[in-house]
Structure 1
Amino acid sequence: MNNQQSTVEKVNGWVKNSVGLKLITITILMLLLLIPASMIKSIISERENMNQSVLNEVSQKWAGKQQINGPVLCIPLVYEYAIEDEKADTKIITKTKHLYLLPEQLSINGKIEPEKLKRGIYEVVVYRSALNISGNYKLNLKLDTEGLKEIKYDKAFLTVGISDLRGIEDEIVMNWGKQKLNIQPGSKLSDMISSGVSIDLPNIKDQIDQSIDFSFQLNLQGSQNLSFIPLGSTTEVDLQSSWSSPSFNGNFIPDNREVSDSGFTANWKVLQLNRNYPQTWVNKNMYKAMQYSALGVDLIMPLDDYQKSMRSAKYAAMTIALIFLIFFLVEILNGRKIHPFQYALVGLALCLFYILLISISEHSNFNIAYLISASLTSLMILLYAKSVFKSNKFTGVLSATVLGIYGFLFVTLQLADYALLMGSIGLALILGITMYFTRNINWYKLNMETE
């Protein structure tokens, strides 16, 4: 019986005092704690998807992304062809084609006023825009005259593409030369412009080989994005807004732009040589080429709370490893035994930080949520560690480490463009400090004795 107790005591002592076994146990605990950390990431993704669904719902009721395409001038052409059938009889076939003309000059001046709408706890950015669109056409017709029977000048029309017609706030009046023309809903060029408005032009026969000015004002609301197709031989777009976080997209970036806390201004200049479609063509679908030449701006949230929370959760493994490292070094340097269950409680407290962060940030400013979550978690860990360490010195070291970790993480989240640089420098410093404080430990001769 004594031999059995002696064996059990030896095993218990080995389990309690073995550095290698303790490292293995801590590693297993860290791996197990990655499970709740992964679940936290799933929760953040779920909440972010809910936010996106609210954004889509509000966009459906307000107006979605807006793209302005046009105006495109279309003139019907009637051709006649003589064709012989199998009996050598000649038949006359009449075919209608369409001549498409783009503006010589196209100028767009716009002001975008963003608004924030709330649905429950979620916030969505939408906008109202006032766009002044003007330019001119040079009606120089260069046509294939073979078989051309008639040019229907009296059936010419303009089409302006507007991707979401629900966003039109006021009546649109087209100034064509000295005439004011009414606009009709619907696109007459459905293959190239799926959604838009059309304008029937008066007989333009007398205006051939002349330059015709046009202009109209478009008050348009939308959400997330506003873009344009540069149809002019020379297209100039000038936008200004009070939104301080634009993302310029499309195939062309602004020639000049200024972004500040008070908003942004941007202007583009695009020549016909910069895009892959001509100024005039007959019976061709230029939809893909036109879409490829789009330019515009997204009104984005600077770095929304869900993105910040997800990025912070990606540092969960590093945070747990560093805190466990401090606890382990206390065991080595102070000879204080810490049970694996105590490690587990500290790890769960660290995981709780991320749940607090995402839940509080949905109801307040992210920075405030971060301060509250980090303070509660740090206080919980430090009070618990003080009773475990029985040493003010090592509790102070842990306090500095915890505050350093959360401070470093906060700075990293704010500097989105330098996150990788900050992270790599931080890890290098942590590794260097750990190597410094453990440089004199003889791990082969280390014998953890019970108190």
Structure 2
Amino acid sequence: MLKNIWFGKLAALAAIVLVLVIGLGMIEAVVRDRQHYRHLTEQSVADSLAGAQTLIGPVIHSACVESWDVETGKGDERRMVEQRREFRLTAMPETLRLNTDAAMQERARGVHKVNAFSLQTRILAQWGPLTALQPQSSIQGSRMQCGAPILMLAVADARGIRTAQLEVNAQELALKPGTFHPTYARGLHASLPESVRGGAEGLQATLNLELVGTQQVSIVPLGGRTEVQMQSPWPHPSFSGRFLPTERTVRADGFEAQWRLSSLATTAAQDIAESKPVCTSTPGEDNLAYAGAANQPHGCVDSFSVAFIDPVNPYSLSDRATKYGVLFIALTFVAVGLFELMGNGPHAPPLRGSLPPEGAAFSSWGGPAMKTLRVHPVQYLLVGSALCSFFLLLVSLSEHLPFGAAYGIAAMACVLLLGYYATHMLGSVRRGLPFGAGIGVLYGMLYVLLQLEQTALAVGAVALFAVLATVMVLTRRVNWYGLTATRSPDRPTARTEAA
């Protein structure tokens, strides 16, 4: 009979664990839905404000047409036919310097927040003699026609341009929308006088630009020497792209970063002249000409980026926490089983021939009868449900409170509930308080694991080993066969053998 009871209880606990795992899966689905809503919010803000930005330029280009006559036919049918070749001349700056201040502007849709930025950028570009703008004939006797030189600055999303002011050789020039470039069409431009073409004195341009966007800004290093200095009060930058900063300082009140690049280290200038696509780490409609780096690893223009990330993303942290849910349930059920097991008196059988105290009952193996501390499967189910409710509380509260505060409130509520319930489930406050304290330690360990990145696996493995060692030490004297043994009718008891 006892054996059947234990097997029935184990089967019931297995069914309860399965139900709780299904419940955790539903909670994970809720977290994923909230993450999806957050992505939709980010896209909504980008559609209404501006998306991730990429700066290309300033660049001087000029569209040219070369035409020539070709004689076709024979005899009286001979005639001259004009053929033509269209091409574009491009002059990249010898020196390109950018000084950028990035101020953060938080935007929100409901409970979801998106990091937007406002760039105050001063760009200084200097060209040497603009011989690259002088067309070269490919056919002897051909005719050359070139449009006016155009100084352009291309951006990923032109809606983000707030103000712009351009000075060329200390003279202010009017800026107009568009770039007149077939590939990098979004941005602004200014027409230059024809006299700059092939000028020996070179050219210097200063552009003051205010640009807004969301999440990330990328820069294409076009100069023979490119120097970029960026500072921002945002304390969580993520540097990516083909080049990391030469120098960077990240503090609690912001960051400063500097890039110093030579054209010897990048083919960005040649790639832009060939109108290759610009690849960024955040693909979308707001990019200039996105091509996934995985698909075209060598076919994209070099760039470097700064993303203004939020490291305390409540949904990513909640998702990570939910993945520990099954382990939480398993450890808690083990703890309840230990209290039930250790609370049922001694489990090792006495020596053969020993006599019990007068009036004491005996188990089937000759030991004293177990006490009546038993935990019903329904109680296991309620404890597991309380553990599952923690993760749902966490994701819902973290939408309105800082993640640390939301975690503390959810954990405290569950610890108090489980501690109170355990005092009645386990029969005494002496057992309920250690059980509640153990649950509190589990929540504390989980919070530590969520904050760690590089050492989370090591800390989690050590903690799990410590729990396993504790369980083995506490149950080292348990007679596991005695828990499921059935009493045989013809087996003599210890009292009979003694007699």
Please, what TM-score do these two structures have when normalized by structure 1?
0.89
Give ranges in structure 2 of 5+ residues lacking alignment.
279-297, 345-372, 487-499
More helix by share: 1
1:272 maps to which residue?
Answer: 263
Q: Residue 165 of structure 2 contacts residue 208 of structure 2 at CA under 8 Å; is this kept in 1?
A: yes
Aligned to 2:410: 373
- Provide the rounded CA distance (Å) in 2 between the counterparts of 1:218 and 1:422: 48
Partner deviation per Cα, 1:325-379 (whole Å, 9 max, x = no partner): 0111122211221111110111011111111111122121221111111111111
1:317 equivalenced with 2:306 (yes/no): no
Give the drift of 1:286.
2.9
Asked whether the equivalents of residues 103 and 119 of structure 2 are also in contact (C-alpha less than 8 Å), the reply is yes
Aligned equivalents of 1:63 and 1:437: distance in 2? 61
SS of equivalent residue, structure 1 residue 209: coil
Cα deviation 1:192-215 (Å, max 9, x = unaligned): x13111211111357523321111
Could you tell me how far 1:272 is from its partner in structure 2? 1.5
Change (3 A) 1:74 1:368: same
Amino acid at match of 1:110: T
Q: Could you say which residue in structure 2 is the equivalent of 1:46?
A: 33
Counterpart-to-counterpart distance in 1, 2:376 and 2:4: 11
Match 1:209 to one of 192, 200, 217? 200
- 309 and 33 in structure 1: CA distance in 2 versus 1, 3 angstrom threshold: same
Equivalent residue number for residue 230 of structure 1: 221
Are residue 382 (structure 1) and residue 404 (structure 2) matched? no
Aligned Cα RMSD in Å? 2.4
Q: 2:268, 2:302 within 8 Å by CA — same for their partners in 1?
A: no
Alignment of 1:342 onto 2:379: yes
Contact 2:220–2:268 (8 Å) recurs in 1? no
User: Quick one: which of 41, 46, 53 aligns to 1:66?
Assistant: 53
Q: Report the secondary structure of 2:483's partner residue.
A: coil
Cα gap change, 1:151 to 1:157, in 2 (>3 Å) = farther
2:452, 2:152 → 1: CA distance? 46
Aligned-pair CA distance for 1:28: 2.9
C-alpha distance in 1, partners of 2:145/2:221? 27
**Of the candidates 357, 376, 391, which is equivalent to residue 428 of structure 2?**
391
CA distance in 2 between counterparts of 1:278 and 1:235 reads: 11
Q: CA deviation at 1:26?
A: 2.2
- The change in CA–CA distance for 1:61 and 1:423 in structure 2 (over 3 A counts) is same
Distance in 2, Cα, partners of 1:53 & 1:146:
52
Which one of 58, 62, 84 corresponds to residue 94 of structure 1? 84
Is 1:37 paired with 2:24?
Answer: yes
Percentage identity across paired residues of the two chains? 30
Shift of 1:151: 5.8
The residue type equivalent to 2:174 in the other structure is N
Cα deviation 1:16-75 (Å, max 9, x = unaligned): 3x2x55344323321221001010011111112112212221222222111111122112
Question: 1:7 aligns to what?
Answer: none
Residue range with higher mean Cα deviation, 429-438 or 251-260: 429-438
SS in structure 1 at match of 2:447? helix
The aligned residue for residue 230 of structure 2 is 239
**Residues 7-406 of structure 1: matches in 2 within 5 Å?**
10=1, 13-16=2-5, 18=6, 20-87=7-74, 89-138=79-128, 139-141=130-132, 144-147=136-139, 149=142, 155-170=148-163, 172-191=164-183, 193-205=184-196, 208-278=199-269, 284-288=274-278, 291-335=300-344, 336-406=373-443
Q: Distance in 2 between matches of 1:432 and 1:329?
A: 13
Selected match of 1:418 from 409, 431, 455: 455
Aligned positions, number: 434
Read off the aligned partner of 2:231 and give its amino acid letter: Q
C-alpha change, 1:218 and 1:115, in structure 2 (3 Å) is: same
Q: Could you give the per-residue CA deviations for residues 389-412 of structure 1, whole angstroms, max 9, x where no partner exists?
A: 113443233123101100101111
Question: CA offsets, 1:137-191, max 9 Å, x none?
Answer: 1213376443375665761112210111221112x23211132211110121122
Question: What code does the residue aligned with 1:162 have?
Answer: V
2:175 and 2:188 in contact (8 A); partners too: yes
How many Å separate the matches in 2 of 1:399 and 1:150? 90
Amino acid at match of 2:382: L
For the pair shown, which has the larger CA radius of gyration, 1 or 2? 2
Q: Which moved more, 1:158-167 or 1:93-102?
A: 93-102
Question: How many angstroms apart in 2 are the aligned matches of 1:368 and 1:186?
Answer: 48
Query: What CA distance in whole angstroms lies between the structure 2 residues aligned with 1:166 and 1:424?
Result: 50
- Give the structure-2-normalised TM-score: 0.81
Gaps of 5+ in 1: 1-9
The secondary structure found in structure 2 opposite 1:446 is helix
Secondary structure of 1:28's counterpart equals helix
